[in-house]
Amino acid sequence: MANHKSSLKRIRQAEKRRIRNRYWAKTARNAVRRVRKMTDKAEAQAAYPKVQALLLRLGRKNIISKNKASNLCSRLNIHINKLG
């Protein structure tokens, strides 16, 4: 167990951040899944901007890497364009 006040605080902070990061990463995965499931192109196009904004924001905050956020947005856009 930690012996210093600062290390105890650091443990508390790290745990809080871990939980917050897991929540947002899971939320992003579910949002991407939800859009991928859509079969109506208009509906998917309407939902895409919010999902894209979420992914890019998480990329900026390093919850997911910038490249992963960009790749997810790109693949999602390609998927939406293929819908008939």
Q: What is the pLDDT of residue 3?
A: 84
What pLDDT digit, counting tens, does each position of 63-72 carry?
Answer: 999 999 999 9
Q: How many CA atoms lie within 13 A of 35 on its CB side?
A: 28
Q: Structural domain tally of the chain? A: 1
Full residue range of the structural domain in which residue 77 is found: 5-82
Specify the CATH number for the domain of residue 75.
Answer: 1.20.58.110
Record the tokens describing residue 32, joined without a space: 């991407």
Distance CA 76, CA 84 (A): 15
φ, ψ at 34 (rounded to 5°): -60, -45
Contact 69, 56 (CB under 8 A): yes
What pLDDT digit, counting tens, does each position of 48-59 carry?
Answer: 999 999 999 999
Distance CA 40, CA 84 (A): 8
What pLDDT digit, counting tens, does each position of 33-50 carry?
Answer: 999 999 999 999 999 999
Strands (E), the chain: none
> What pTM did the predictor assign?
0.85
